[in-house]
């Protein structure tokens, strides 16, 4: 029981922090556009660095889940869980251009010529006339993320095939309050009158993701405690 309380408390604490980031962003914007940009919108700002760190922790949490499920699932499924973690770690690295500005190294020639920001990032690459951030990492990825955060938790308790798929692919399913939180932030963030408001959204998404991974609605294969899917 103590493990369950700790995990749930962690979950709520992360949602509280995410709410604090949103409120602070609105306050900073109301005070001064420069203040908002310095702490929320600038490259290597406090919020951007925090986003990268939390995304990396999310990746580690997904790896931990995959290892916990290892005795009960195939190697392919474990590899899938490891892949989930790699995606988050990759996203964290991309967020800070893999430490390029911190470490002070120059972009390779290919990235200088084919990256719309001349940085060492893959999501800003331009292939031909196609910008990957607009084609893949923009609307397409946004729809996938929103489907995961909002649609999946609505379907999971109602559709047996969704439950089976989530179990076989060890997908951590958001709680209904995670879905409500994601929907609320998505509706509120456009009212933040700053061009770099999506940096705030990304930070909130990272914190929400970690909350979900630590306290999902479903349990891992081989676990029977619905209240605490990840407890031993």
- Is 88 within the bounds of a domain? yes
Model confidence at 26, pLDDT cuts 50, 70, 90, reads very high
Tell whether the model's pLDDT for residue 116 goes beyond 90. no
- Is 231 within the bounds of a domain? no
- Is 82 within the bounds of a domain? yes
Name the maximum alpha-carbon separation found in the chain: 56
Structure tokens at 191: 């009212």
Q: According to the model, what pLDDT value does residue 222 have? A: 66
- Is 193 within the bounds of a domain? yes
- Is 176 within the bounds of a domain? yes
The number of domains in the chain is: 1
Q: Is 207 exposed, middle or buried (0-12, 13-18, 19+ CB in 10 A)?
A: buried
Structure confidence by residue, pLDDT tens digits, 161-210: 999 999 889 999 999 999 999 999 999 999 999 888 989 999 999 999 99
Q: According to the model, what pLDDT value does residue 58 have? A: 96
Question: Which residues have CB under 8 Å from 30's CB, separation 6+?
Answer: none
Dihedral (CA of 183, 160, 12, 211) sign: negative
Model pTM score: 0.86
- What residue numbers bound the domain in which 75 lies? 2-214
- Is 72 within the bounds of a domain? yes
3-class secondary-structure state, position 230:
coil
Q: Is 198 exposed, middle or buried (0-12, 13-18, 19+ CB in 10 A)?
A: middle
Tell whether the model's pLDDT for residue 230 goes beyond 50. no
| Tokens 């990492």 found at | 137
**What does the alpha-carbon distance between residue 205 and residue 197 come to, in Å, rounded to a whole number?**
13
- Is 94 within the bounds of a domain? yes
- Is 178 within the bounds of a domain? yes
Structure confidence by residue, pLDDT tens digits, 156-169: 999 999 999 998 89
CB atoms within 10 A of CB 98: 18
Backbone phi and psi for residue 14, each to the nearest 5 degrees, phi listed first: -65, -40
């Amino acid at each position: 029981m103590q493990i369950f309380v700790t995990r749930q408390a962690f979950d709520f604490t992360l949602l509280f922090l995410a709410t604090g980031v949103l409120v602070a962003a609105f306050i900073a914007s109301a005070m001064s556009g420069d203040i908002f940009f310095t702490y929320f919108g600038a490259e290597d700002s406090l919020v951007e660095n925090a986003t990268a760190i939390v995304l990396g922790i999310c990746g580690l949490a997904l790896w931990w889940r995959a290892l916990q499920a290892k005795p009960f699932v195939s190697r392919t499924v474990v590899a899938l869980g490891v892949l989930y973690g790699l995606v988050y770690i990759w996203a964290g690295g991309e967020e800070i251009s893999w430490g390029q500005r911190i470490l002070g190294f120059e972009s390779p020639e290919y990235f200088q010529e084919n990256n719309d920001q001349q940085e060492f990032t893959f999501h800003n690459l331009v292939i031909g006339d196609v910008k990957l951030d607009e084609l893949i990492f923009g609307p397409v990825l946004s729809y996938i993320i929103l489907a995961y955060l909002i649609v999946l938790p609505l379907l999971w308790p109602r559709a047996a095939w969704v439950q089976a798929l989530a179990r076989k692919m060890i997908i951590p399913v958001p709680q209904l309050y995670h879905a409500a939180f994601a929907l609320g932030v998505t509706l509120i963030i456009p009212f933040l009158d700053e061009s770099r408001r999506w940096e705030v959204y990304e930070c909130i998404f990272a914190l929400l993701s970690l909350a979900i991974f630590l306290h999902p609605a479903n349990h891992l294969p081989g676990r029977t405690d619905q209240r605490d899917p990840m407890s031993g």
